[in-house]
Amino acid sequence: MSELGDLYQEVILDHNKRPRNFRALPGADHRAVGHNPLCGDRMTIYLKLDGDVVTEVTFEGSGCAISKASASMMTESIKGKTRAQVEALFKKFHGLVTGEPPASGADLGKLVVFSGVSEFPVRVKCATLAWHTLRAALEERTEAVSTE
Amino acid sequence: MRTAGERSAGGQIAGAATRASASGGRAFDPLAVREDFPILRQKVYGKPLVYLDNAATTHKPRVVIEAIERFYENDNSNIHRGLHALSERATAAFEAARDTVRRTLNAADLREIVFTRGTTEAINLVAQSFARPRLRPGDEIVISTLEHHSNIVPWQMVCEATGARLRVIPIGEAGELDMKAYEALLGPRTRLVAIVHVSNALGTINPVERVIEAAHARGIPVLLDGAQAVAHMKVDVRALDCDFYAFSGHKVYGPTGIGVLYGKVEHLEAMPPYQGGGDMIASVTFEKTTWNRLPYKFEAGTPHIAGGIGLAAALDYLDRLGLEGRAAHEQDLLVRATAALRAIPRVRIIGTAPAKASVLSFVIDGIHPHDIGTILDRDGIAIRAGHHCTQPLMDRFGVPATARASFALYNTRDEVDALAKGVARVIEVFS
Ligand SMILES: Cc1ncc(COP(=O)(O)O)c(C=O)c1O
């Protein structure tokens, strides 16, 4: 139960229930669709950039609690960051959910609530779907990305 | 002729199957049956394993594991080619296994039993060797909304190659075939009907007798995907009069990597080989090669010999247990589980056809099936969460996925109760 408690932390359950920035973004200048073929989940990330800085980010789609909460919290934590900062944050987040030793650099902030994911290897893809989709959007790839 | 494999299998069996037959058909006892399945003894995360993912694959009774082990320890050899003692024994055991499959399906002729890697390969074989050469642009193949991807994609591939069209029978809210729509779909361009016998995602048992009758009335052949049927019911290909029947060993308590295509001999005779190689030829010269006789024409290369022998051991095991008792037991589990989950608010059961095998798909309002699966898993309860390789069916019900509990003969009422308790706890975690 404690491992389950680590996975489904209050903050995660809250973001699952009331996802932030959960809508389409009219006038977005970057967009990408992410797909987890394992579960059929789909997610769209919308971005507005001012030069190198993410000024707005929203998402839409269906998914499990982990993927939805991850997307929701990601949108909150990358707003105002530069591409390089987003990339650094992704690397750190990826290390966190896969249980790799913490890398120095970016500060995960609230995202540390996803540390429990490392005890559930099959759920890593749920936690990273939003991030992979975000990277695709930043690279202006318009085709669907896949976790496979 | 009794083979080495058969003899040792027959001589060393202990377990529920023999106890049941020794007692002359005493009531089915799932607890005794469990003793035959070594894997069920384990704990996961400190909890007793409650395995409810039997539609994905079933566990293997000791007699199956031992039959495979005995083959590799005593008889291992290639078949149909050696002149030595081991090869003769291996060949005899493999051909005896074919006969066990024939008896199970009540096929008339050994030539009609082709060993494949599984249901998927069996369907692909029919798609490529039967359908493809006959299809012309504008011809039609009829499947249903209930199909597993392995009874969709092979037909899409031949349609793509030939210009034929796929037509799909709709289903009703309960997950039952729309038979009126089906009959309306059958037309002058219909070349084949390919349909699932029992749905892996919903458990629906299709009225395949009527499906076949309607197709045959118009001279259209029918393939049945029996992957989920053979474990739960008597399948009699002669009574059904189906043209092709496919199933997988691993879903009937046998090994993975082995399956069966039954085909009427007149179809199989007329079809070109599926793959080329050793065993499937009569003679080879660089100028001309002639095909081997049936069923070997469709069994290129060294087959999964141990798999065939293990499959036969599984079918024999089921035969000794008898169908009536285990079928009634599985239905009892289904009824109990359906009632228990129905009683939980926010749970919705998907697939409520009157005739169902022991498969229970459900969703919980506001909770994704993956989260249900993860939480149950930590309780030791193994279910499947996902689209079950039936994405068009999920789309039909407007869900990305479902949670699915599927029951086998070794499951118990206590396990059903554990599932219901687990589901209630999932809701608690998310409340
Ligand atoms: C209804 C149905 N058809 C086909 C298949 C494919 O079987 P296999 O993967 O053993 O080839 C399955 C297995 O999941 C199934 O449930």
DSSP strands (E only) in B106-183: 113-116, 140-144, 165-169
pLDDT classification of B5: cutoffs 50, 70, 90: very low
List, as ranges, residues 268-307 from B with C-beta within 8 Å of A: none
Residue B167, min C-alpha distance to chain A (Å): 24
Instruction: Report which of B276, B265, B400, B414 is spatially closest to residue B333, judged by C-alpha positions.
Output: B414
- Per DSSP, the three-state class of B386 is strand
Q: Where are the alpha helices (DSSP H) in B244-390?
A: 265-270, 305-321, 323-342, 369-377
Predicted ipTM beyond 0.90 = no
- Residues B133 and B256 occupy one common structural domain: yes
Average pLDDT taken over every residue of chain A: 89
Distance (Å, whole) CA B143 – CA B272: 23
**Cβ–Cβ pairs < 8 A, chains A and B:** 51
pLDDT 10s digits, A43-58: 999 999 999 999 999 9
Asked if the structure places residue B349 within a domain, the reply is yes
CB B159 within 8 A of CB B128: no
* Tokens standing for residue A55: 């000024």
pLDDT score at B83: 86
- Residues B343 and B258 occupy one common structural domain: no
* Residue B366 with chain A: CB contacts under 8 Å: 17
- Residues B274 and B353 occupy one common structural domain: no
pLDDT score at B8: 39
Question: Which chain B residue has the Cα nearest residue A125?
Answer: B370
Residue A123, min C-alpha distance to chain B (Å): 9
Asked if the structure places residue B42 within a domain, the reply is no
Contact state of B429 with A64 under an 8 Å Cβ cutoff: no
Handedness of CA B299, B301, B304, B306 (dihedral sign): positive
Residue B287 scores a pLDDT above 80:
yes
- Residues B289 and B362 occupy one common structural domain: no
- Residues B343 and B309 occupy one common structural domain: no
- Per DSSP, the three-state class of A43 is strand
Contact state of B430 with A41 under an 8 Å Cβ cutoff: no
Helix (H) or strand (E) holding A54: strand A53-62
Cis peptide before B30 (omega within 30 of 0): no
Please check whether the domain covering A3-143 is classified as CATH 3.90.1010.10.
yes
A18 interfaces chain B, CB cutoff of 8 Å = no
- Residues B116 and B171 occupy one common structural domain: yes
pLDDT classification of B2: cutoffs 50, 70, 90: very low
Distance (Å, whole) CA A20 – CA A38: 25
pLDDT 10s digits, B17-41: 655 544 445 689 999 999 999 999 9
Number of compact structural domains in chain B = 2
- Residues B291 and B333 occupy one common structural domain: no
Provide the 8-state DSSP code for A102: P
pLDDT score at A38: 72
For residue B329, the CA-to-ligand 1 centroid distance in Å is 23
Catalytic residue annotation of B: 389
Asked if the structure places residue B81 within a domain, the reply is yes
List, as ranges, residues 377-406 from B with C-beta within 8 Å of A: 378, 385-387, 391, 394, 400-401
Q: What is the CATH number of the domain that holds B111?
A: 3.40.640.10
- Residues B270 and B135 occupy one common structural domain: yes
* Tokens standing for residue B55: 């539609």
Distance (Å, whole) CA B334 – CA B413: 10
Boundary residue ending a domain (B294, B318, B342): B318
Boundary residue ending a domain (B318, B337, B370): B318
- Residues B218 and B110 occupy one common structural domain: yes
CA dihedral (B5, B318, B52, B35) in degrees, to 10, reads -70
Distance (Å, whole) CA A15 – CA A83: 24
Distance (Å, whole) CA B343 – CA B348: 10
Boundary residue ending a domain (B318, B344, B370): B318
Can you give the C-alpha Rg of chain A in angstroms?
Answer: 14
- Residues B252 and B332 occupy one common structural domain: no
- Residues B105 and B128 occupy one common structural domain: yes
List, as ranges, residues 26-85 from A with C-beta within 8 Å of B: 38-42, 62-66, 68
Range of the domain at B230: 70-318
CB B310 within 8 A of CB B327: no
Pair type for strands B47-48 and B43-44: antiparallel
pLDDT 10s digits, B317-340: 999 999 999 999 999 999 999 999
- Residues B251 and B103 occupy one common structural domain: yes
User: What's the distance, CA B101 to chain centroid?
Assistant: 13
Residue A15 scores a pLDDT above 60:
yes
pLDDT classification of A145: cutoffs 50, 70, 90: low
pLDDT classification of B1: cutoffs 50, 70, 90: very low
Handedness of CA B394, B398, B399, B402 (dihedral sign): negative
CB B325 within 8 A of CB B402: no
Asked if the structure places residue B4 within a domain, the reply is no
Q: What is the CATH number of the domain that holds B343?
A: 3.90.1150.10
